[in-house]
Each structure stands twice: as C-alpha cells, then as structure tokens.
Structure 1
Amino acid sequence: MLTTTSAQQCPFMPGGEGDAAPEQGAGAERGGPTLSFGGNTPYVDYAGIDTLLGLQRTRTDEPAESAFLIATQVMELLFSLVRERWEAARDALEADDVPGALSWLRRACHAQDVLNDSWGLINDMTPTEFNRFRDSFGEASGFQSYGYRKLEFLLGNKSAAMIRPHKAMEPVVGELTDLLERPGLYDAALRLLHRRGLPVPADRFERDWTQAYEPSPEVERAWADVYADDRPGNDLFLLAEALMDVAERVTRWRHLHLVAVKRTMGGKPGSGGSNGLNWLARHVEQDVFPELWSLRNTI
C-alpha cells in the first residue's frame, strides 16, 4: 500500500516536498528534500511569496478587514485568469477552431467556479464588523476594478464611459480601449455562426464593437436552428451550451455579490457613490448572451 501523502506526490504543491533535488549528505542518501539554501527558497522566489504576503496591509485593527482584503485580492487574480481564458476562446472562435474554444471555455468555467466560491471568505462578515473598517478604504469600490471591467467588455457590456475612472493609468486605458474596440466573446461566436451559413443579421457580425450588445430576434432564430440539431457531433450546439455554462456562472457571481452587499451593508450608499444594492439588483437581471436565454421560452 502506498503511504506517500498527496502533497509529496504532487510536483509543485504548496507545503509539499515536490521534485526537490536531494540534499548533499546523509539526507540525500535517504531521498529527503533539500533543506539548505543560500537565500530565499526557490518556491518563495518563483511564486513571489514575500511580495504577495506583503500586500495584506490592513488599515484598522478589525480582524474581518484581513479577510475582506484577501478576498478582494484573490478575486482580482481570478479576474485575470478568467480574462485570459475568455480571450483565448474568443481568438479560437475567430480562427474557426471550435474544439480549441470549447477547451478554453471549460477551463474558464473552472476558474469561474473558484471565483464564485471566493465569496465564502467573507460571507459570514457581520454589519458591525464591516462598519468598523469601512471608513478606512474611503471611496474605494469594486466598481473601480479594471480587471472586472475587462470581463464585462468581453461579455459585451461595452461602455467607453467606464474607462474614465482609469484615465490616469495609461496602460490600463490602452488595454480597456483594445477590448472596447474588438469583438467580444459572444460577438466572435455570432461571427462563426455567420461563416457557417446561419442567418445571423449583418448588424451583428459586423457592427460598432464599442457599443453594448443588444438582443436580436434574428440571432435567437439562428441559435434555435443550432438547437434543432442537438447531436453530440454538432460543434455549434456544444458551443452554445458551453457559452451557457459561462453565462450561468456570471449570473451566479452577480447574485452572490448582491447577497454579500445586502448582508453586510443593506441599502446604504456604496463607497463608490451609488446605491450599491439597487445597482447590483439591476445588474443581476441583465443576461449575458441574451438570445441563448430567451430561446428557451420558445424551443
């Protein structure tokens, strides 16, 4: 029977022995890990652990602030990972590589699941705990997250005005402008449908990409044609369902955000200046990839 722990079996697990080279001396003969290094351990250097842990700079003595800050930072890292995978899926669709797009969408969903689960880090925070550190972050608001804004642009929720909060951050403005002016993930899917001969209207496969996507009855009918052939070999049907997997997780994220705000601060004005609860409630009702939802009323 194998008695090696799972951490020892994995080549690069935090806290595991991994594939470390044997230490010189008696330990090496026993196959033990390297225990002596001239400076930082390679693990610390590779993952930037000192830098990472140095970013948890709370501003108050309230213990709940640490969880709030770490949850925020974890979400930002996951925003970046989801964006990379959505962009890869979009580019694969533009290149007519449906299998590649499906693979990237599946991977994105795994990252979205972790992102949604990250709300669990703070979903037990009480209003009194939150109030004890809320003033410390002033006007800071998740609304100002350019990582999240990139995701919204990729989903088709385009708005040039949403770049304005970052106007002093030139590289960020450039990245957001690029996403604003390019087809989003859903746009790329509709362009693929058009190339496959489905009746996608011209104002959907070629349009002003800087404008927010608006639902179209013709697009719904095109997707209905796709769903009429639900054989496992129909890659467009598989694509439609993969996009729905993404969209469902987006909806779940928004709802979890709404519930977290409702639980910790209720309907009080948000730190960014808006009525946070009302704004989030409206956002929850806004479907991404809308025709994939609406066609379910008719097929």
Structure 2
Amino acid sequence: MSKSNTTNFTNPSTFILLGIPGLEAAHVWISIPFCTMYVMAILGNFTILFIVKTEPGLHEPMYYFLCMLAVTDLVLSTSTLPKTLSIFWFNSREIDFGSCLIQMFFIGSFSAMESGIIAAMALDRYVAICHPLRHSTILTNSVVARIGLAVVLRSCIVSLPSPFLARQWPYCRTNVISHSFCEMMSVVKLSCTDTSLSDYYGLTVTLMVAVMDVFSITVSYTQILRAIFSLPTKDARLKTFGTCSSHLCVILAFGIPILFTMFTHRLGHHVPLYVHILMANVHMLMPPFLNPIIYGVRTKQIRDRLLRHIIEME
C-alpha cells in the first residue's frame, strides 16, 4: 500500500479514505450514532413516501415536494454513509477512482437539489398563504413536475463539470484522502497541477445556487409575513404561521450544518481536521435524519395517517 501511495501516476486505480484522521480509535463509537441516524433516515423517508403514495388526500403540491425532498435525502445519505460505516467497521478504506468521482457528483448534485426543493417548498407556502383560492390552479401537477425537473436539471448541469475536471488532473503526490468520503476539496489537494479553474468554478457554482435559493426563500417569506401581519386576529396569524413551521424547521436543519461547516473552514488552521470531517458528515446526515421527523411531528395530516396505519397493523 505504501508503494501505491508514493508512486507517480496520472489516474490512480483507487483512492484510500482515512475516515476521520485523529479519531481512529473512536471510529467504532462514532459509528453508533451515525448508523442509528442513517437507519432512522432510511425508515423515516420511506415512511413519508409510503404515506403520501397511499393517501389520495395528500396528493397535493406540498406533499409532492416533500416526496422529492425524501428521495433526495435518501440518495444524499446513501451516497456517503455506507462507505463511511464500512471504514469504521471493516477498515475498508479503498474506493475505485471512478466510484470516487461518482460519489463527488452525487454529493454536489443532490446537495444542490435539496437546496432547490426547499426553495420550491417556500414558493408553495407563499402561494398557499397569499393566494389560497388560486393555489390549485397556480401549482398544478404539471407545474410541480416542471419545477422538480428544473431543480434536477440545474443541479446535474452545475455539478457535472467538477468530476470531469477531476478526471483530467494528474495525481502525482498520493492517493490517500484525509476524509471519510470523496469530498471535492479533499480530492483537489491531491492533484499536482493548477486546479484554480476547478476552484473558481466550484466557488462560483456554490455562490450562484446559494444566492438563487436564498433569494427565492427570502422573497417568498417576505410576502408570507406581510400577508400574516395583515390578518385581523392574533389567533389567525398564529394558525397561518403554523402552516410554515415545518418548512422553517427544514430550512434550519439544512442551513445550520452548512453555517457550522463554513464557520469551521473560516477558522482554518485553528480547527482540527477531524472537526471539519465530522461537520461534513453531519451536513450529509442531519437533514435526511431530521426532515421526516419534522414533518411527521409537525404535520397533522401525515401524523394522523401514520397513526392510522400503525393501528391497522395491530
């Protein structure tokens, strides 16, 4: 292995993932909460998909977007966690070069999809609150499908160049990645050529997607708040605002790990490498774990139907 790590090569056949450097002795213990959250994410998101599919009363734009979010969460968490757990449990550190590039693409594209779907859900809340009588005519099934397709195409198009660029780089330093999965910046550091084009592209794409989605969410909730504060009674304002509570919690579940990751990166050398890697894993796992819980607890329609299915099974 040491020879493969130091020999010059253009495209390595495999990369070596170290897991969480500095916490190797705790890998098994770290795997317990990671595995628990992953299993809960799988069960929770499949439950959301099952309930929405089997209940005709939930065939509405809000729940269609929720299903898109559930599928995105399933793919996003599954693209990283099984490999991470195999490192923790079986010391299975090797990953094929092609598989590493595919993992990079899935991470980038489905992270962008999650952001886009959350922005689309904000649009749905805006139409439901500000134009309730026209909600079904504005957000028809075909419109929802086109929005979903636009989010998927945008995410794939902006994420596709990164693995193609990475495939062209010469890797003459090492094939050891100091991470638990093929995170873009960790792979970039292994190249012995000028990667400024990839750096600028990645930064531009990230900023573009973030600005577009944050702007859309901000505009939607500005109009929502204006409509809420124009209601005549406090009870009406609280009830209307309550319809947005689940979506706001999802925004926080998605945004807070990103903010922590950005914060730790800004601190640079003052933050240990294992903190960066732990936060990256939390960013991949926390939204898929929390989103079905949030909607299961906060959304009466889903909660009632889930309880009914449980009672019928008994």
TM-score of the two chains, using structure 2 as the length reference: 0.31
Structure richer in helix, relative to its length: 2
TM-score, with length taken from structure 1: 0.32
